[in-house]
Amino acid sequence: MIAIVVIDDPVLAATSQLFLNEVKQELAGMFDMTFSELKTLIGLYITRTPAGIKVDQKSYVNGLLERHGLENANGTLTPLPKNAKVLLAGPHKTLLN
């Protein structure tokens, strides 16, 4: 069993659904609590699919891009090809080798 508490938002995870249900029932008896599927945690977006669990930081990345005026920048695959030339932004605009 894993229990994470961020401020007043507990997150519970277990390898056994039976055990998880028992813990939730015990906690609900001690505290005024409601339980739902985890969707976000400290800026991470969590999605469950039949293929597994997806965790992304899309809104965090979009915020960074907006803060630095790069929201309209063109994306590229990473990692860059070996020996790619990178142009730095700013007044000096030199190439990195």
One-letter-per-residue 3-state SS of 11-65: EEECCCHHHHHHHHHHHHHHCCCCCCCCCEECCEEEEEECCEEEEECHHHHHHHH
| Cα dihedral 25/29/31/34 (nearest 10) | 40
**pLDDT surpassing 90 at residue 97:** no
Predicted local confidence at residue 92, as pLDDT: 62
CB of 68 within 8 A of CB of 81?
A: no
List pLDDT tens digits, range 39-64. Answer: 988 888 999 889 988 999 988 888 89
**pLDDT surpassing 90 at residue 4:** no
- Residue 78 domain boundaries: 2-96
Number of domains in the chain: 1
| Cα dihedral 61/62/64/66 (nearest 10) | 170
